[in-house]
Chain A
Amino acid sequence: MDETYAIEMLHITKRFPGIIANDDVTIQLKRGEIHALLGENGAGKSTLMSVLFGLYQAEEGTIRKDGKEVKINNPNDANDLGIGMVHQHFKLVQCFTVLDNIMLGVETVKGGLLEKNEARKKVMALSEKYGLMVDPDAKIEDITVGMQQRTEILKMLYRDNEILIFDEPTAVLTPQEIEELMQIMRNLSAEGKSILFISHKLNEIMEVADRCSVLRRGKYIGTVDIKDTNKAELSRMMVGRDVQLVVDKQDAKPKETVLKVENMTVASKVHKNNAVKNVSLEVRAGEIVCIAGIDGNGQTEFVYGLTGLEPLVSGKITLEGQDITHASIRSRSKEMSHIPEDRHKHGLVLDYSLEYNMVLQRYFEPEFVSGAGFLKKKNIRDYATRLIDEYDVRSGQGPITIARSMSGGNQQKAIIARELDKQHKLLVAVQPTRGLDVGAIENIHAQLIKQRDEGAAVLLVSLELEEVMNVSDRILVMYEGEIVGELDPRTTTAEELGLYMAGAKKTDRKEVHA
């Protein structure tokens, strides 16, 4: 019996109808270590964690806590064993205070009434000990994503959990917040907590983890010590082939102006101020302009205004010399392709088949509809099949697959296929790689650059610092609805960009041009 391990998952096999999600996977978490679990989307990381958390039961294999075999049948069992989890989508009640959220489920009661003073003391003590700054009386809906995450961490600590699972914790954070989280994780492990860190971001794993286990298509590939490895090796283990980590591209050769936005102002749906304030920009053919910024600084509303999803309060949009400020979405889409931020809300009709989704913007063209108004099913099928082949969209049943049943990465590929194949002069891509794995990201970046080189104007909106630096030819930073700086990715640094994104730095753009 080896007692150096806090938790061991030995030879876990979990089958779902038709697929083996985990095939003989073994993970051993040492006490006090930060153990990364690396794998692409669909590699079985989530399933494995669900088994550990009691949401699923494995068909084969055992789980041991401190060397003793345990059975985990539901999340309460996991809790009793000291296993806590920060879910990718936070499990917080928006209209409750931080304190209420932390104590929910393990409330202290005195004389039938809630006793919050003790809880508050304990939370404040924990928050100080681990450097987890929170305001216990603030409501979740009013605080930053970073503070919400710290609330989740405090929830685990409040329950005296010893084994902490972080499920893709950095996906929602700003660069500065990621840095803070890394420090918090180091503090926690220094205090003897054992951490399982699920991620597909190599930089973060290299920075914070002690060891890393890799899964690929449900199979356990191996566990390596971080100090003995490098990014290239990890990505090879994860994807199964060599991956181009640096985007390969030549300098842009911008030509004529394709998109001109003048003084655009868009109202906000969540507050009374305008979300986009007096923004002007130009995008030329053959360049990738990136709008960088922390989530919620008006990027979404800017794109809504540009693509016609929301009306403008004021301003003017010119595309290819034509005023499209008041044009309908359909007429805009003649020259503008849009890879939307929310692929479920604006990208796909989830309960339609893949083939219908492929012709969503074109079904009314003579190629797909007869004069009498009937759809030409065969043409639609052929067209969809061609796109599926060309863009390698993987799905269970080809063109007749229901979009909802596809993985996120393949849904995104389907949208990209549809938007890129359509005639366009301007491509608006909003967080096109969100939630995708290294292989898919590589592919999408290559597609964007290919679009540029073929003469399209590309407007990329991204929250990922790395993507901003690697892909774009020009960076515009958006902060509180305004463009606060224009940077050249060849000369700027991630730190400088971070300062602009956080609003700590601001330049008058006219000076930049001069």
Chain B
Amino acid sequence: MILLIQYTLIFASVLTLVALGGCFSEHSGVINLGLEGTMVMGALGGALTLKALTGAPYIVIVLAAILVSALSGLLYTVLLGVASIHFKADQTLVGTAMNILATAAATVMVKAINMAENPDNVSATIQYVNSKRALIVRIGNFEFNWFMLVAVIALICSYVLLYKTRFGLRLMACGENPQAADSVGINVFKMRWAGVLISGILGGIGGIVYITAGVSEWKFETGVAGFGFLALAVMIFGQWKPTNIGLAALLFGFFRALSNVYSGFPFLAALKIPGTIYNMMPYIISLIVLAFTSKNSRAPKAEGIPYDKSTR
């Protein structure tokens, strides 16, 4: 039971962080479909940091992992910013390209660095068993992960930033009606850059949280297994609002956690449902939930449309 809560919380943390990233980007008017790729890049940066800092003080490891993965994500979303804000490219295509590129690039890079114990055994796997201990504090049987705290802080900060500050008001104006924002002297391009880069930071952190959630090594060929897209579903289900995103993330996190721990529940194990069904659960749930709720969802009005000063 404790294990279920623990996994629910950690997967919910991943989804919260990444969905909040998507939320900032979309509120500024840019669809970040490349969150999946951003996560991979964040995960890569974070994993390399964990590996490099093996043996360092725990606090250094935690902070450095967060910092480097955030930075990796941020740098990677510059691609989206340049293409979609500056060159007015189709945001769906750019995002898709980013997702394809990230997994491939990460695989190539990890293989080139090649950290396998036997140098002939070229693999795209990074191991971070020792450093991973830095992330965890044991409270009885419960493994508290610092990233859970990071997600909660991100959630609170996002809420305040979006609804209580000048920045949030202006950001959302750019995603709803950029012409209106422009007419009152707000620089739409700057705000969109801000939204995109914040999504990179949160997406990047989400990446490292995901690959350290259950395991101590990661094979980068698998990317992040669609978690970026799941986060987008969480964002839509959460109606682009931080509080709802937090709740939606818990729901989806719960179903993801089930697949890790279902065998520990006698009555679930007795049902003899194949494990793959549990693995599929969050994705199937997201399909069903979105099929019923997306009709009433209210996305930022101007998202996906490159801003053109001359259209009024």
Residues on A with beta carbons closer than 8 Å to the beta carbon of B169: 96, 100, 103-104, 107, 114
Are A107 and B185 in contact, CB atoms less than 8 angstroms apart?
Answer: no
Are B176 and A113 in contact, CB atoms less than 8 angstroms apart?
Answer: no
Are A114 and B166 in contact, CB atoms less than 8 angstroms apart?
Answer: yes
Are B312 and A87 in contact, CB atoms less than 8 angstroms apart?
Answer: yes
Question: Given the interface contacts A112-B165, A113-B164, does A91 sit within 8 Å of B176 by beta carbon?
Answer: no
Question: Given the interface contacts A92-B177, A93-B172, A93-B173, does A104 sit within 8 Å of B165 by beta carbon?
Answer: no
Q: What's the Cα separation between A253 and B172 when bound, in Å?
A: 58
Residues on B with beta carbons closer than 8 Å to the beta carbon of A91: 177, 179-180, 183-184
Q: What's the Cα separation between A85 and B182 when bound, in Å?
A: 13
Interface residue ranges of A82-123 to B (CB < 8 Å): 85, 87, 89-96, 100-101, 103-107, 109, 112-114
Cross-chain contact of B176 among A85, A94, A114 (Cβ < 8 A): A94
The number of residues on chain B lying at the interface, defined by a beta carbon within 8 Å of a beta carbon of chain A, is 21
Main DSSP-derived SS at the A contact region: loop
- Binary contact track B160-182/A, C-beta < 8 Å → 1, others 0: 10001110011011001101111
**What's the nearest-Cβ distance from chain A to residue B238, in Å?**
16
**What's the nearest-Cβ distance from chain B to residue A100, in Å?**
6
Further contacts, 11 of them, CB under 8 A, given A103-B169, A104-B173: A75-B182, A79-B184, A87-B183, A87-B312, A89-B312, A91-B177, A94-B176, A95-B298, A101-B180, A105-B184, A105-B185
Q: What's the Cα separation between A75 and B312 when bound, in Å?
A: 14
Chain B CB within 8 A of A76 CB: yes
Q: What's the Cα separation between A105 and B183 when bound, in Å?
A: 9
Residues on B with beta carbons closer than 8 Å to the beta carbon of A92: 177, 180
**What's the nearest-Cβ distance from chain A to residue B159, in Å?**
12
Q: What's the Cα separation between A155 and B185 when bound, in Å?
A: 13
Residues on B with beta carbons closer than 8 Å to the beta carbon of A96: 169, 172-173, 176
**What's the nearest-Cβ distance from chain B to residue A291, in Å?**
30
A-B pairs with lowest CB-CB distance, top 9: A105-B184, A91-B180, A91-B183, A93-B176, A107-B166, A76-B185, A113-B164, A93-B177, A93-B173
Are A79 and B185 in contact, CB atoms less than 8 angstroms apart?
Answer: yes
The interface size bin for chain A is 20 to 34
Chain A CB within 8 A of B251 CB: no
Residues on A with beta carbons closer than 8 Å to the beta carbon of B164: 113-114
Q: What's the Cα separation between A250 and B18 when bound, in Å?
A: 70
Chain A CB within 8 A of B219 CB: no
Question: Given the interface contacts A93-B176, A95-B298, does A75 sit within 8 Å of B183 by beta carbon?
Answer: yes
Question: Given the interface contacts A91-B179, A96-B176, does A106 sit within 8 Å of B184 by beta carbon?
Answer: yes
What are 28 of the A-B contact pairs (CB < 8 Å)?
A76-B185, A79-B184, A87-B183, A91-B177, A91-B179, A92-B180, A93-B172, A93-B173, A93-B176, A93-B177, A93-B180, A94-B177, A95-B176, A96-B169, A96-B173, A101-B180, A103-B169, A104-B173, A104-B181, A104-B186, A105-B184, A105-B186, A107-B169, A109-B165, A109-B166, A113-B160, A113-B164, A114-B164
CB closest chain-A residue, reference B177 = A93
Residues on A with beta carbons closer than 8 Å to the beta carbon of B111: none
**What's the nearest-Cβ distance from chain B to residue A91, in Å?**
4
Cross-chain contact of B170 among A85, A89, A90, A104 (Cβ < 8 A): A104
Q: What's the Cα separation between A107 and B160 when bound, in Å?
A: 16
**What's the nearest-Cβ distance from chain A to residue B182, in Å?**
7
Q: What's the Cα separation between A289 and B184 when bound, in Å?
A: 44
**What's the nearest-Cβ distance from chain B to residue A427, in Å?**
33
Interface residue ranges of A354-379 to B (CB < 8 Å): none
**What's the nearest-Cβ distance from chain B to residue A16, in Å?**
12
**What's the nearest-Cβ distance from chain A to residue B160, in Å?**
8
Q: What's the Cα separation between A114 and B172 when bound, in Å?
A: 14
Residues on A with beta carbons closer than 8 Å to the beta carbon of B185: 75-76, 79, 105
Q: What's the Cα separation between A75 and B185 when bound, in Å?
A: 7
Q: What's the Cα separation between A93 and B180 when bound, in Å?
A: 7
